[in-house]
Each structure stands twice: as structure tokens, then as C-alpha cells.
Chain A
């Protein structure tokens, strides 16, 4: 019987086509906003997690402040870090080792197709091992870089896929980095982080000598501490040294010393605040949408008073009338929700695709978890039915004699 009522309800909605659509707009704007913004936020959070999450709690990083929007960290600042800071930082009490890291945005070419990636330096000498352990660098095919490897690179796991260059890159293949030929000696294990999976690793020497990266301008200085329980103290010692070296007052620092864990927490709480804001806006918009449904349903009860009388006279119980109206408003909510979900998902994936195309950055990612889909659908159905309860109840309670007398 429920199925028959549902069919009947659907027919009614179709009959009031334009009004049904207008009512649903209220819901789908809300749902689309929630889905797209939460999806992008979730994607951003995952991207950041994967970027920083692999670094241990005993690592600090130093950057000149003022990040460029999409370029590699530290690469677009007015006063970059200079390489002579590296040995000075290493002498700070509690620091085990420190090394310079260079990041260079660069085109690579393979199979006649180009792509923009970040070329990441691998330090040479004794610090190589520390770097490799620090970021847990392992190859799936081939080998890691060795001291003295010139014109050789190790690449991220993504390039093994056909879709990057239309053809998978293998160990021994040659790729062009800034139009210079390099040999691929190793392919990294899949890490789930675009820092590794989608980039190119090169010996520091090759970057400076062959790509022309400026040795004096360091993008990031990575620091490993001896005792992670003293990390806060070591951090402030480093900051003091850097202030002196860079000649700035406390409070006016043009650099940042960060621990990845702290960064992650800070970002997470910022993201949470942003998401909370989105939730509140979405809740308001959904409430407005819900009231729209209620309004439409009340109008519909008024318009169909006579029809309700007819149905009652031919044997419809109150519960039947209630069900018909209740399903109608539930439908309005749910169809609005489904459309909202589709629009929201397309928006989120669209924005992340645009980000990839125009900014070459994977940081703008969309991630629509299953719970979000379920949440969006159930909220929209609940909303529709919740705001439909009162009109449906009113319809069901109409007196058959009076309703039959109502003018059509």
C-alpha cells in the first residue's frame, strides 16, 4: 500500500512541476554547499596530513615566512634563508643534524608530454642517511640515489601509472627535467602523499650544478633534534639564533620554525573552525529550505482540500492522507538532497580539477567520504519529512464534509 501512496505522491509532485523544483532549490543549495565545502575541506585536510604526517615528532623545519600560494614552500619569499645558516643551526644545543632542502618547481617531459612537478633535493654526504630515515624513503623498483649520482633521478610512484604521461615510466627510462635529460634509477614506494608520489627527487649537487638552483637560497632547513622532549626549548634557541642572524626583532620574525606535528595540529584546528562555519551556514540554509517545503506543503493542503475530501469519502483513512502528504514532503527533501549531492560533488571535484590544471597543485583535492553522502541524503529526507509533518497532519485531520464542500 505504501508503494501506491508513494506513486500517488510522486504524481502529485510532478503535476506541480515548477513549484516542486523551486521548493527543492532551497534544499539543494544547502546540501550542495555542505557537500562541496566539506568535501574540499576534507580533501585539504587529507592532503596536509599526508604532506606532514610522515615526519616524526623529532623534526623541526625552518622556512622564511610568507608562503607562495601554490609554489613549493619557502620558494617565493622576499628574504630567503641563506645556506650558511645550516651549519650554524647545527651548533645549537640539542640539534643532532640539520641540512638544507631545495624545492624547485619544474617541468618534466616524458613520452612527449609535459607536467609540472616539484623537484626535491636529496642531501649528499652523511646527511643523506638521516634524510632517508627521516622521511622513510624506500624504493619499489631500482635503487635510491647515491653520492655522486649526476643526471639521475628517483621518481614518485604515480609515474608508474599510464595516465600521467600516457605511458608508464620505468627504471632506466630517460626523462627531461627543464629540458635536460635525466635517467630514472628508482621508483619510490607508494606513500599516499603527493609530496612523494607525484614528484622528482634529485641529488642536491645535480640541482645546483645542472638545474641551476641557487645554492645560497635555501627553501627549507630540516632539523633533527636529539631529544624530542626538549623540542620546545630547542625551537626557541633556534629562533633566537635566527633573529640575530637575520637581524630582526622578536615579534617581527620573517621566518618560521615549525614542528610538523604542531603545524598539523594548528592546521587541523583552523580547518575545523572553517568547517564549523560551513556547517552553520549550511544549517541555516537547510532550515530555510525546510521552511520552504513546509510552506509549499501547506499551500498544497489548501489547494487540495477538495481532493482530500474526495479521497476520504471513498475510503481513505486519516493515516492514508497523512502518509501521502508526508511522503510528498519527504520526496521533496530527498530529491533536493540527491541533486544537491550531485551538484556539490561536481563542484568539489571540479574545483580540485581546476586547481590541478591552473595551479599545478594537488593541495586542492576533493574527498567525499561515504559518511558525507549518507549524511547529506538522510538530512535532506529527514528535513523534508520533519517540515512535512505539520501540513500532513493538518491534511489528515480535515473533516470530509467540509472538505468536499470546498471550492476547487
Chain B
């Protein structure tokens, strides 16, 4: 094993002198006093090696010995991940709390997976079966999932099973199978293995194009700016615009099998809400606590900066692991800007030539590589699995022109830009309907969505004009367009995430209501004057808002729906051709 000693300390960057073999990005431990501090090699120049330390560096001395492990930064993969709360380096936070109390202890690293828990193993492979990495050896029940025990991802080549244990209860450290390859090399298979976080898991036969929508149950996303399973999206927004709330809502209601929450450099208080509430909230789909489909990776803003970068990779690696079992996984990273800032800090210490706003020149390629780990893949057994990545961005000053937002926009498939204007007006979710876009197909036909969107565009134009010439200077026709756009905004784009019914809207309900909204948009009604038009739309709006808060299977819903329809037909409207086509497309 390679050893060395500390020659310099600058913030969380430490220089080490060694004459042994060192691998880029391998993990090294610095022996400072009675603690071993974990660190990662980030530059090698001759005998001098720079490492970034995942802890506070206070107390390190020149001359302290350093131990290189020859392993890249890795995570443990196996049964027992679900429902866990880890820090960025996969240390289980509840167990750390049990051991050392209130505060995090530098240099304390615990096993991510319990070695004592027994799992009921059922073999799927037989002796003499030929297996490739990632193929199923057996399975164990993990909560309500069938957790597939796979041939470890680093078993390159073909292996034949020489021995496999019968069904029974084992711990993850038990050898459940033995395999050998054509050359006679033998290896043991356990229920867990480790995988380096910065390498994408690539055990699949092909990558597919994201096509199926990922239902978030947030209307403005599902209808207007959809996300696909295996796709990527980003949520940039100034502070206070509701990024985190939007992600919390998504993490609750999204129709996926597993949710990974990477709280990266944000407020601890927000994670606390998630981790105290999720065990109590019941997921209507499975009838189990939400926590059972969730893994939280939490490196909040006051935790060591270098581990912040690791945390998003830890999260995506766990997501890929579950994808390999044919599951749909959603990774929510909040916030990628903090991760980019961690890179900037380290780049500055390495005295690299800075790019824009002092971010390193490789910022874009690193962000692109991260988002590219999302995807939907066909596995060796023909099943598909997906990882969808949604990242928030916290642009300085709320200005989307800054490097992190721009680098992210280049690589994502959907952009949900939050606006201060909308959040100030308490219009939530504050996704800006004119700035945002999506390249994916959603649950609604393009034509219908496009038709509705034209009202938002025209309405905004009229609204801007009205600010100058006043209501008096606006024609009745324009004014009605404006009212329609406001109506669409109020009853469809905005959604009350605190209302038990309105918080999550199923796709079928979205279609049902959207049809009614389209009908109202498409209608031509002759109004007496602006007052008359305004009253008409205000009344419709009120009924629609009541409708939004009513469960779909209730009589109330049916009668409110009818009430809106009747109020519209009473005015004997004519319908625009394009509108009728849009409604037809819905059917």
C-alpha cells in the first residue's frame, strides 16, 4: 500500500509527498492526531499529490502520515438502502447521531449497509448458468420491492456459477454464490458490492430514447412542460421562488418506483421536514410510508464542502443501481449550483486559470456528464429501467445568464424557470409559462397544449399594453383574451400544494379538466362591456377553483363541472375552429 506524508495545507486542499504508485481520484486517509480524515486525490505532479479533504482540515500538521487505499471513492450497493438517510459519503446519519450525539464527528465513518440484518434470499441462477455483470443471481424482499441480487458490476467478462446457496436467510456479508470464468479464475459473490461513484453504471444492452412521460401530478409540468422517464430537467430560480417546495411536492407525488433526494449544500431545515414527515405520509399507490421508496443523501450547506460534490454522485450511483433492477428512479438534486460552487472553491485552491465568474473551465463538461447519467435503458433480460434527473439551480441574483444555469440548459430536456414576479404574486408553482420549455412529449397532445399556450402569449402582450394605455384604452376583444389567459393561469397553471386534493392531480383528471378549460378558451361570447366579461370570467374562476379542491369521485365534482359548462353554454358561445380541433385532439 502506498504511503506518504503531508507537506502543505491550504483550506480543504492538502499536498502530500509520496514515492509510491497513486491513482487519480483514489481515496486517501490523513492520520491527523487520533483521527483518519477521508480525502480524494485530485492532482498528481511528480511526487507531489494534491488531495481534497472531506472534512474540516483543522489540526492537520505537516509531516502527518497519509495512507492511500487504491480504491476510488465508492458506495456500497445492496439491500438496505431504501429509507436510509446518508451524508454525501454514504455515512448513515441516524447511526452517527446514535454514536456521537448532536454534532457530526470528523473522521467517523460507518458502514452504509447493516452487516447484521438478515435477508431472505431466493436464488434465481442455477449452477453452470453463464452470467454477465449486472445479471440476476437471486433476490431478496426489501420492503415492498423485489430487490435483485446482481453479479457485481465490476465482474467483467462471462462467469459460470459453480455454487449457489439455497433459499434461506443470510446477511449481506455471506457468500451466496461462487463463480468462475473460462480461464479458471474464481470469485465469490455476496449480496453487496461497491462501485466507484464517478463511473456511470453501464451494464445494459442499449440506451433508449426517453418517450413515456413521468407523471409528477403537477398540472403545469405534466400538461405544459412535461418530463420523460429517463429524461432530465432543471429548475432555476431566485431565492424564495419555491424551488425546494416544488421538489418536495414532486418527491411526494411523482409516479416512479424510487426517489433519491440529494440535498446538496442547501438548508438543513428543509431536509429535516422531509425526513421527519416522509415516514408518516402514506403513499396511496403502495399503501406504505413514502420513506420506504426514498433514499436521502444529505450534505447541507454547513457540512464539509468537498463532500458536497461527492453527494450528487453518491445519489446518482444508487439511482443507477435500482435502475438495474428494472425500476423507474427519480433523482432530485437541490441544488446543483452549490455543487458547482464546491468545484469552484477547489479549482481556486489548485490555482487553475478561472473561467467565467471564477468557475473552472471544465464546469460545462462536468455538468453535462452528470446529467448524461440519466436515461432509460434496456437491460440484458429485456426489461427497461430508468433514471430521471431533476436538478435545481440557484443563479446568483436570479440572473439566468450565469454559467451554471447556461451550462445546465445546454444538456437538459426540460427547463422549468421559476420567476420572482410570479412567486411575489403568490402564483405557485412559480414556473414561468412563457420562459419555460420542454422537449419531451407529455400526457396531452401537442396541438391542444400549443393552442392553450397561445392565449398565455397573447394575454401577456395585452397585459403589458394595458399597463401603458390602461383598461380604457384596450379593445374589448383584446381584453377578453387577457381575461382568458388570466383564467387559464389561475385555474390550471397555479396549484395549491397545501390542499390535499389540489396538491396531486392524476393525468385522467388533468385531461378532464383541461378539456373544459379549452372549451372556455375556444368560446366566442358577445359581452356587453368589459365589466360584463370580467364578471363572467371571475365567476367561472371561482367555480373552477372550488372544483380543483373537490375529489374527482364525488358528486360535488360532477355538479361543479356541470355548473361551469352550463354557465358557459348559457352565453350561447360560438367555438373557434382551432379550438375545436384542439379539443378533438384530446379525445
Real binding pair: no
